[in-house]
A and B are shown apart, each in its own frame.
Chain A
Amino acid sequence: MIHMANQIGSFFAAYPKNEAVAGIKDHLEKFWEPRMRRQIIEYAAQGAGGLHEYVLEAVKQLAPAPASK
């Protein structure tokens, strides 16, 4: 998961920072299932070791993912 998140970060790194963070956030919201978003939010809260700087910023802006039904 971290590997994939950092690849998303590498793709968007070519954009100005604000656009990159918004692009990463949009991608995570549109394509990552809630439990994956919960996992990365939790990972970021626990120190986010090795997470791309832009990805970390985007994850901080994510709304809490809904719980599984």
Chain B
Amino acid sequence: MVMGMANLAMATGNFGKNGVGVNPLRGQNNVQGSCDMGSFPHELPGYRHVSDNLVRQSFEAAWNVPLQSEPGLRIPNMIDAALDGTFKGLYVQGEDIVQSDPGTQHISAGLKAMECVVVQDLFLNETASFAHVFLPGSSFLEKDGTFTNAERRISLVRQAIPPVPGKADWEATAALSEAMGYPMRYNHPSEIMDEIARLTPTFAGVTYEKIERLGSIQWPCNEKAPEGTPVMHIGGFVRGKGKFMITEFVPTDERTTGRFPLILTTGRILSQYNVGAQTRRTSNNVWHDMDVLEIHPSDAENRGIKDGDLVSLASRAGEITLPAQISERMQPGVVYTTFHHAMTGANVVTTDYSDWATNCPEYKVTAVQVQLARHISEWQQHYRQTRRMTTQIEKESAAND
């Protein structure tokens, strides 16, 4: 899809000038920033592959440690490897993979199989239930840093109050590193940015002082473009002329069957943010206090389902129950729900299929059956029991604070 859109933009001349290009609408505010900084398991900052000896050596020299030249595992591969017994530990910061990733039971089993799971988050989210160690996270109001949006624009995040847990996230990570024998001695996030600038050519001219002065900076920012680069690819690409790629459509192998005749697609709504770990604890619940299953009137009628009925939603992966909402906006044969509420467990139903290129989970196509239900699913009963215990811990912790 991405290559196809790039092909289309090149064919129509929509590169290298104001107001054109291909931009993803990110699901989170700093996806771009984390990708820029080498969060992919195969890249170092600046989108440089770990097998590039010169690049790797520059980081090895700066950090005084050897770095692997091989790609690492992506999340679904980590879970598989954990179940194989070859992946032992995970440090999760600000992400709730148990609720957000497909195949909840698979993810849970993988986490259970690990020897050490460290979760650092604002709240005791679903993944925290599997943590051996929980570290308190700090919100954007409690730390300095930068966010980078999809137009490569780096902006400052300014601390408004001291971190409630006592340490900002980066300080907790540095302390953990030091405890494990590798001191990270930064006095302020601006010193981390200085290091990024020393090691990453596209960030060579970025400093906190410059971002403050200019308001924001779009990378590349270096000697050639000291105030950043609002428009890339003017007059051509780094490689010269653009390269058109053949983009064969690779359809999903997920198929509807007599047993699972409908397609489930999952998504998000405006008033809850992703897994809802933050927004479910606010009055936003007034607008969306539960996940519902939207279903076309004819599919509902065929199953004797009325608006508000409790229905079971089952796939080859698992089964949940939730209220039905009859909706003309659905196509016949397609049902839809959100994954904002942990109690719903929408990802109990989704499968572990993912795309071949990036392992992006296949949230939009799961073959399912929908039927009237009399009671909540087995998974939801089990969830209620275990969640009661973690909620108690959360309340006691809040009371002690």
Residues of A within 8 A of B (CB): 1, 3-4, 7-8, 10-15, 27, 29-36, 65-66, 68-69
Contact = CB atoms under 8 A, between A and B. Distances in A.
Contact of B356 (A8, A34, A35, A66): A8
A15 B243 CA distance: 14
Given A7-B356, A10-B248, A30-B49, A66 B70 contact: yes
Interface residues of B, number: 24
A14 B81 contact: no
Closest 6 CB pairs of A and B: A7-B356, A14-B248, A14-B246, A10-B250, A33-B73, A8-B356
B42 interface: yes
- Main secondary structure on chain A at its contact with chain B? helix
Given A3-B253, A13-B248, A14-B246, A31 B353 contact: no
- Main secondary structure on chain B at its contact with chain A? loop
A30 B357 CA distance: 11
Nearest to A68: B86
B122 to A, nearest CB: 30
Nearest to A16: B246
Contact of B353 (A1, A3, A8, A11): A3
27 contacts: A3-B253, A4-B356, A4-B359, A7-B250, A7-B356, A8-B356, A8-B357, A10-B248, A10-B356, A11-B250, A13-B248, A27-B357, A29-B51, A30-B42, A30-B51, A31-B42, A31-B71, A32-B71, A33-B73, A33-B77, A34-B70, A36-B73, A36-B77, A65-B70, A66-B70, A68-B86, A69-B68
Given A1-B80, A15-B246, 4 more contacts: A10-B250, A31-B71, A32-B71, A33-B72
B41 interface: yes
A11 B248 contact: yes
Contacts of A65: 70
A62 B248 CA distance: 24
A14 B247 CA distance: 8
A27 B354 CA distance: 16
Nearest to B70: A34
A68 to B, nearest CB: 7
Among A10, A33, A34, A68, find the residue whose CB has the most chain B CB atoms closer than 10 A.
A33
A10 B70 CA distance: 25
A66 B80 CA distance: 19
Interface in B317-358: 353-357
A66 B14 CA distance: 43
